Amino acid sequence: MKPPSHWLALVVGNSRLHWGLFVGQQWLAGWHTAHLPADQLQTLAAAHFSAQCWADLGLDLPTSLGQRGWLEGQVPLPLWAAAVVPSVLHQLASYPHLHVVDLGQVPLSGLYPTLGIDRALAVLGAGATYGWPSLVIDCGTALTFTAADQGGLVGGAIAPGLGLQLKTLNTFTDQLPKVVVDPEQLPHRWALATPDAMASGVIYTLLAGVRDFIADWQHYYPGGQVIVTGGDGAAIATYLAQQKSPLSTHLIQDDNLAFWGLRLCRQHSTL
């Protein structure tokens, strides 16, 4: 029997590129990069995404991968990709082993045409992994809520994410500074300095919104799962726990939901 082959996954987000490596259905590792210039993407593709090419471009790979055979460029590596920023995939269009996943390939009913593919993949991955119904709270550049039940979309919402809210206050005002929050500790609610007041205002109002969506979800779907993902997902989960919110008791944190959804789409397409 032929052994399972390696394949590369790419989920293009608003701010970063999310990469993952599988062998068959088995997850090996994931990593993130900024959006790369077209020439770097094309250089990687020309080298079949070999380890040496990543190193030559100054892009770090997870140390857990070691020097596995897939990295040596000896065999063309299939790339399964989905993007909320389509121009990134256009830069890889000449790669002969590229498989683009769009909404039409996501096995969920009720998807609307402008739904972000990252949201669709994440809620698919959540339901397939943790069970239906599932609510995914993606704490990335945008804070999104995406819910599905029995393989069909329930709906969702979109708001500015934690970092974007703070950046907006700094960018579009004359006096408010740049603020970096502590992801492991809630700020004092009643602040005595402007940076602390910004952190307090953004974080506590964001948490209030998250709690409200979770409470409404649990009202209509008492047995439903709630999964937190995204770059600020760990911080949001930590903040909720520090507030001793009973809603946080059964939160699941999983940063790879979109990859689990992409894996399922690949599995369906190869049946």
Cα–Cα distance measured from residue 159 to residue 152, given in angstroms and rounded to the nearest whole number = 22
119, 144 Cβ separation under 8 angstroms: yes
CA angle (180 as vertex; 187, 116 as ends), nearest 5: 100
| Catalytic annotation, pick one of 56, 60, 102, 118 | 118
Helices 162-171 and 194-220 meet at what angle, rounded to 10? 140
| Of residues 134, 162, 133, 164, the one with CA closest to residue 234 | 162
What Rg, from alpha-carbon coordinates, does the chain have? 20
Supply 56's token pair. 């030559």
Concerning whether 149 is annotated as a catalytic residue, the answer is no
| Of residues 245, 158, 167, the one with CA closest to residue 208 | 245
Per the document, the length of the chain is 271
Of all helices (H) and strands (E), which one includes residue 16? strand 16-23
The SS3 of residue 239 is helix
Write out the catalytic residue numbers.
118
